[in-house]
């Protein structure tokens, strides 16, 4: 990844995008590595405006393609004013347009714009914590895992792949992520259904399967659950509800709504996905009823 960054710095493509005047051509360099230090598999994405010189894009792409470990170089174009490194894929300049890798026993393919944790070892730790929190009450395989805000499907597929659930029902706002989740499900032999749309809009009409064998996992963005989704989930019957929070403050707010509907937060794990920062991931297990809280067996790595 550092070699890619140095090579682009040496070439110094210009003019750079000016976020104040909204002029220029070269906006972002996105570098993702699905390999290891010994066997890198780097996908580099050049994000530009439509004002870019296509010849210069070709020159930069060819220079990056010469570097060892670079499996793909892409050109993405956007004229949006927001400073987000995403847009329309214009060209595949070299190699493959996807990252292929294995994590936690899953075979995954991710397009350039798919979300995934940048810390792969941390992602495995997070999955272990979610698996501990999502266990069905009886300890047997559950019938249905309802995976809300599922992204490319990592958590739901990871739990189903290890035999914890017979099928997955996934919901995600972005259609591209849902298509990726479907492809990854097929790669890993996981049965289920995936729906694109806002969680709060899709939930009321979603077939959630039998309540006794159902576990709900929510992994919302930093803002937390949409208020409509929180109110709906407060009334949902399930063996357990697992809340994965990248912002513990959002979890604290939504906890009040869920507990007003009869849920109670029985257990809590924290995972440090971003060492040396103030950020921490929290995984909470909610159950219904007034009886004693069952003892947990937290994963040693979490």
- Tell me the catalytic residues: 246
Partners of 7 in the β-ladder: none
Are 160 and 167 in contact, with CB atoms under 8 Å apart?
Answer: yes
- DSSP percent split of the chain into helix, strand, coil, nearest 5: 30, 30, 40
Cβ burial of 245 (10 Å; 0-12, 13-18, 19+) is buried
- Who contacts 153 (Cβ-Cβ below 8 Å, separation ≥6)? 147, 168, 170, 180, 181, 184, 185, 194
Partners of 91 in the β-ladder: 75
- The arrangement of strands across the sheet holding 42-48 comes to 26-33, 42-48, 70-77, 88-95
Pairing relationship of beta strands 70-77 and 88-95 according to DSSP bridges: antiparallel
Distance CA 118, CA 30 (A): 12
Estimate to the nearest angstrom the gap between the alpha carbon of 217 and the chain centroid: 13
Partners of 263 in the β-ladder: 288
Tokens of 260: 């007003």
Cβ burial of 83 (10 Å; 0-12, 13-18, 19+) is exposed
Q: Count of alpha carbons within 13 Å of 269, Cβ hemisphere only?
A: 25
Tokens of 74: 């892409």
């Amino acid at each position: 990844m550092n070699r890619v960054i140095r090579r682009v710095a040496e070439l110094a493509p210009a003019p750079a995008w000016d976020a104040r005047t909204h002029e220029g051509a070269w906006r972002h360099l996105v570098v993702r590595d699905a390999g290891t230090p010994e066997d890198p598999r780097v996908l580099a994405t050049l994000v530009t405006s439509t004002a870019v010189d296509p010849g210069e894009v070709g020159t930069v792409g060819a220079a990056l393609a010469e570097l060892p470990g670079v499996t793909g170089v892409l050109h993405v174009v956007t004229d949006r004013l927001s400073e987000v490194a995403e847009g329309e894929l214009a060209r595949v300049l070299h190699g493959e347009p996807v990252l292929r890798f294995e994590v936690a026993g899953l075979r995954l393919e991710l397009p350039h714009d798919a979300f995934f944790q940048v810390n792969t070892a941390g992602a495995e730790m997070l999955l272990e914590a979610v698996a501990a929190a999502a266990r069905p009450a009886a300890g047997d395989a559950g019938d249905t895992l309802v995976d809300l805000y599922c992204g490319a499907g990592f958590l739901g597929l990871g739990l189903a792949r290890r035999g914890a659930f017979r099928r997955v029902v996934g919901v995600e706002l972005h259609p591209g992520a849902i298509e990726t989740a479907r492809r990854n499900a097929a790669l890993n032999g996981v049965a289920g259904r995936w729906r694109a749309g806002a969680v709060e809009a899709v939930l009321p009409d979603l077939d959630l399967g039998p309540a006794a064998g159902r576990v709900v996992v929510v992994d919302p963005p930093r803002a937390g659950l949409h208020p409509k989704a929180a109110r709906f989930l407060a009334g949902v019957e399930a063996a357990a509800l697992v809340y994965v929070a990248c912002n513990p403050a959002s979890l604290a707010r939504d906890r009040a709504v869920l507990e007003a509907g009869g849920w109670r937060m029985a257990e809590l794990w924290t995972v440090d996905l971003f060492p040396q920062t103030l950020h921490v991931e929290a995984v909470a297990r909610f159950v219904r009823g007034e009886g004693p809280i069952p003892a947990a067996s937290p994963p040693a790595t979490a």
